[in-house]
Structure formats: structure tokens, C-alpha cells
Structure 1
Amino acid sequence: MNGKTLQGTAQKRAEELPATTLYSFEPGWEAAKVVDKWFMLLTEVPGRPVVILKARPDDARTLCEAYADITPGYHMNKRHWITLAPGDSIDKMLVKDLVTESYRLVVGNLPKSRRPVDPAGFGTG
């Protein structure tokens, strides 16, 4: 998967998720948030388009070991965030699934009254 497809796939999936807002907060950085919490960042590292997503620490470690194009989160907490880079080891379905999981993790930490969906069942069926 090339960088343009990687970021485009991630952004399109984020736009489909309830109560998601996309915005630029600094030149070269795009972000997606649900309510007021980030779940995805888009940038270039160095000159390569990447997607940075929230992940459970055990899942992050497993993904980094299993996929050559997934590394610990660039410029973020390395245990709780992962970076997806262009390459052949990841495909569109994996990118969509990881964006959805990042969203679910963030929604799950919101107060129940502010959750746009039930994170336990959202996106699993």
C-alpha cells in the first residue's frame, strides 16, 4: 500500500465513524477526534506519509512484531500508540480495522453520557 492510499483509507474510515471531527492543528499534521479526544493523526515521517493510531499495549506490541510496516507510535506514547507506514505488509482492511479499534478505545474512555456509540459492540459485527 502506498502512502497516499494509506492515509486516504484511514481518513475515509474515520469520516464514517459517529461524532468524528477531522481538523488540522499544525502544518503537516491532520487529526481525527471523537468528542474531544484524538484517535488518529496523519503526518509525514521523514517525508513518508504515516497514520498514528491508539492501541492497547498488548495489541500494539503484537502488531509491531507481526507487521513490518507497523511501529510504535511516532511522537506519542510508544505503548499506547502505533504508526502505520506505507508498505506491502498491511492492506486496506487492516487499516480500516485499526482505525475503528482506535476509535473504540477512545470512546470507551469517555464518560458514558458523552459516548456516541457503545464501544463494546460498535464495529465488531
Structure 2
Amino acid sequence: MDLDLFVQYCESLKGTTLENPFGDNTLVCKVMGKMYALADVDSFESINVKCDPEKAIELREQYPAVIPGYHMSKKHWNTIIMDNSIPNSQVKQWILDSYNLVVNKLTKKDRAELENL
């Protein structure tokens, strides 16, 4: 996966906004103001995604390119090294899982607003 495909996929998820709150070289994908993915736009060596804590450990054990979230909560975030060892379809699924984790934690009002977008 390259940066363009990452951005294109994230933008396809309903209600996604792309922001740079940590500086111009860090792209943050949010839904209803909540982060679900981050990437360095200069090198695009890795992305960070939210993950269920138990599943996060399983993925780290199964995939060498999945490590605890860099500069994030190690319990709730994974960093995926973009070395092409993981198929794009799998990376997309993990991005979608992250998005869904965030959406499921939104308030009822925010979920209703998201549905109406």
C-alpha cells in the first residue's frame, strides 16, 4: 500500500476528515473528530491504527510487521510497518476495524449525525 491508496481508502469511509494536528508531515484520519489512523506523509514507512487489545496482541504475534503503537497507547494501537509483507486487503481491513472501533464508541447523537452524512 502506498500513501495515495491509504488516503483514498480512508476518505472512502463515511465522515472521515484528514487533519495535521501534529505537524505537516503527520496525516491523521478522524471520524467525528476522533482519530482512527495516522501516517507519516514524508516516508510512509508505517501507519498506526486502533485495535481491540486482545486482537492487537494476536496480530503482533502473527505478523512481524505489526508492532505496538509507536508514540501511542501500546494497549489500543498497533503500528503496521509498510514493507509490503501484508496484503493491501488485510491492511484495509485493519483500517476499517479501527474506524469501526471509533464509530462504536461515539455518542448516540454523533452516530446519528454520521448516519445522516
Q: TM-score, normalised by structure 1?
A: 0.81
Q: 1:32 and 1:59 mapped to 2: Cα distance?
A: 21
- Same amino acid, percent of matched pairs: 32
Distance 1:107 1:78, change over 3 A: same
Match of 2:25 in 1: 28
Q: Aligned to 1:69, which of 27, 44, 65? A: 65
Distance 1:111 1:48, change over 3 A: closer
Is residue 105 of structure 1 aligned with residue 101 of structure 2? yes
Secondary structure of 2:70's counterpart equals: coil
For structure 1, list consecutive stretches of 5 or more residues without a partner in the other structure: 118-125
For structure 2, list consecutive stretches of 5 or more residues without a partner in the other structure: none
Normalized per residue, the structure richer in helix is 2
Runs of 4+ in 1 over 6 A off after TM superposition: none
CA contact 2:3–2:44 (8 Å) conserved in 1: no
Match of 1:40 in 2: 37
Give, in angstroms, the shift of residue 48 of structure 1. 5.8
Instruction: Let me know the Cα RMSD of the aligned residues.
Output: 1.8
Q: How many residues align?
A: 112
